Chains A and B, each alone.
Chain A
Amino acid sequence: MNALEIDSAISLRDIEPGVSGRIKTMNMPEETVARLAGLGICEGLNVKIVKHGEPCIVRTYGSRVGIASSLVNQIHVDVATI
């Protein structure tokens, strides 16, 4: 991943509700990454913020997932590619 791509990715926490983004990086333990993947939150996938707060609600495909804001902070998405 080059520097330009990293720059274009912003934390999911900074996205307005209703806006979606494509997940670029997930900076968290492997176990957490595997569990989130099962829930539909995985690198390369589109997600949409439904609601910020504790927990944050993220829409992914057909369902919604409540995730701790500490995890949301560690998910970086690319809004521009949508």
Chain B
Amino acid sequence: MSTSSTNVSSEHSNRVVLVGNPNVGKTTLFNCLTGLRMKTANFPGTTLDILSGKLSLPSGERDLLDLPGLYALDSANAEERVALDAILNNDSEKPALIILILDATNLVRNLFFSAQVLRLGIPTVIALNMVDLAKNSGVHINYESLESHLSAPVIPLVARKNTGIEQLIDRCETVLSENTAPALPKLLASTENPDNNMLYKWAESVYESSVEHENATLGRNTEMADKFFTHPIGGLLAFISVLFVVFYLIFSFAGIPMDFIDRTMGSFGEWVVSKLPEGLFRQLIVDGVIAGVGGVLIFLPQICILFFCLSLLEDTGYLARAACVIDKHLRRVGLPGKAFVPMLAAHACAIPGIMAARTIEDRQDRLTTIMVLPLLTCSARLPVYAMITALLFPASAAKGAALFTGAYLLGIIAAMSMAFLFRKTLLKGDMQPMMLELPNYKVPSFKTAFLTAYERGKIFVRKAGTVILAISIVLWALMTFPQAPAPSEEFIQDIPLNGTQVVQEPQSKLSYSFAAKMGKGLEPIIEPLGFDWRIGVGIVASFAAREVVVSALSVIFGVEGYGDDTSVLLDRLKEAKRPDGSPLFTFASSCSLLVFYILAMQCLPTQAVTKRETGSWKWAIFQLGYMTVLAYTASLVTYQALVALGMG
């Protein structure tokens, strides 16, 4: 168990659990109650991240756990069930209190769920959310009547507007001090094991006696909007427009903070260079640690913007419609409609994509999705695409754009094809048929979106950051040792070129390193792809993080120095020759390199997350294996075909 996990075995329960259906504002309420003081709690045997925060009550702080949103306690998938057992049926530490959040606009179904929760026999306070929406649409709830039927306190509130929270906290305090389990409502107590139908009958009877509705307009606007958003063609057009806007936001707004991070890390590196004496330690700090941390942080803005947008879209209720429209199209290749959120996320970074795949209930469906997600073009590939585009079409923006589009498409087609293939072979079995709630549309909460972006960003930095940092240090060592003999003057031309030092190849000090030896060892294998040992070093160096290839090539081709003056690198790459004097980067070998980087795994943090989410290294290794074979084969075919066509 990690240090951030919550103690699950103390004798006196300090634990309060928040439960409720999906789409009822559970996350919003959790944020209201805990603010920013949340962390991920780990429970043995489950891969689910259960959010945990501090609930401040007059009598002291309690741990508030946010259970995954469930429609019914008995319909949880395998992982949710483990989490449920660990939290609700844990004999050593039963929760002291359950806060059950219900949606006032969808009360019967929520009461059905309440019946299951009340039967657990744990003291419960009911937070009745969205009472404003219910009232506005003509649903009048008699809270006292509801309270007496449920035998538990009912607190009306609007979590989005932060109203009713104080009353909720007060009632939690009272119930905790009394510490008595609620008397089971009469109708529920009369039967040992009521079936679903009976629970619904009970829910209906409670509803009938506690609620009056005058000409309820609830859901009318939603149904009007759905005529368009779930229309086979209109809905698809809406979906594509939404995708476009999200990507536009990611790539336009993220540029500003990304440049800032890049510049800051650059100046920080320079500052360290000016402060530390020259030597191995300075190299380690600047080229290993600072460059490594910068390499992670640079993706943070995109990930935060992506999750901000996703949270807003989910909150409005639109994501469910998108899944609805896209389901039948994805299903043809064996992916469920819900896979589109992870796929969208994977276009920023595979790591949040894989984490977002949790919403897919069926394990086979989820595994298929996770296996193909890293094929989609993540932002770490963009520096590689940009380098090769500049190499091939330095003057034509149109050709460059076409190459970029082609690269994105190749990633998507590869992901779809592999999903189809896995479904036919390794992950056979019937797909879980679609069943998805289409909640009422509502105004999203910006606060929740900000907190989600913050939380996801934090998880990304912690999970990916630590791994990348470690890898950066290992790679730095591989590329530094053993060290070159002291350079004799004739090898170095001290021509200052934009502040960078140009070292004559092939006597670059890198050529003595372990990395170079590995590159040379790889040469016979990668020669048919049009690569030589130097590109081999680039591939080895970027094994753990593909974007490293650009800086690795800078080192290999002797363009050293901090800052990203790619024009010097591009000139060097164009001049690079094979032993026979022919250019190294021809059209064919450049395309081959591009194809390789579109399809190859080359990302160790993703592998770590795949391991975590699938529960075993087996799937992570399989992912690495199949993607490497796919990338190699596709590059081979690309290079050999282009050479045969005379484009070598």
A67 contacts B75, C-beta separation under 8 Å: no
B residues less than 8 Å from A60 (CB atoms): 109
B residues less than 8 Å from A54 (CB atoms): 327-328
CB proximity of B597 to chain A, nearest CB, Å:
37
- Shortest Cβ distance from A36 into B: residue: B435
- Shortest Cβ distance from A61 into B: residue: B108
Q: A35-B72, A37-B75 are in contact. Are A66 and B197 (CB under 8 A)?
A: no
Identify which of residues 403-443 in chain B touch chain A, using a CB-to-CB cut-off of 8 Å.
433-440
Q: Is B70 an interface residue (CB 8 A)?
A: yes
- Shortest Cβ distance from B432 into A: residue: A32
Q: Is A19 an interface residue (CB 8 A)?
A: no
Chain B 184-204 interface mask (CB, 8 Å, partner A; 1/0) = 000000000000110011000
CB proximity of A53 to chain B, nearest CB, Å:
7
B433 contacts A32, C-beta separation under 8 Å: yes
A63 contacts B434, C-beta separation under 8 Å: no
Separation of A19 and B199 alpha carbons in the complex (Å): 25
B109 contacts A40, C-beta separation under 8 Å: yes
B residues less than 8 Å from A66 (CB atoms): 230, 320, 323-324, 327, 434-438
Binding-face segment, B5-13, B86-94, B144-152, B216-224? B216-224
A residues less than 8 Å from B106 (CB atoms): 61-63
A63 contacts B435, C-beta separation under 8 Å: no
Chain A 16-29 interface mask (CB, 8 Å, partner B; 1/0) = 00000000000000
Q: A45-B200, A54-B328 are in contact. Are A64 and B223 (CB under 8 A)?
A: yes
Separation of A32 and B439 alpha carbons in the complex (Å): 20
A residues neighboring B (CB under 8 Å): 31-32, 34-40, 42-45, 50-51, 53-55, 57, 59-68, 70-71
Q: Using A51-B226, A64-B223, A67-B436 as known contacts, list a sample of 6 further A-B pairs with CB atoms less than 8 Å apart, ordered by residue number in A.
A: A35-B75, A37-B72, A44-B197, A62-B219, A67-B434, A68-B435
14 contacts between A and B (CB under 8 A): A38-B70, A38-B75, A43-B196, A44-B201, A55-B324, A57-B226, A60-B109, A61-B109, A62-B107, A63-B109, A63-B439, A64-B223, A66-B230, A68-B434
B residues neighboring A (CB under 8 Å): 21, 70-72, 74-75, 103, 105-109, 112-113, 196-197, 200-201, 218-219, 222-223, 226-227, 230, 232, 320, 323-324, 327-328, 361, 433-440
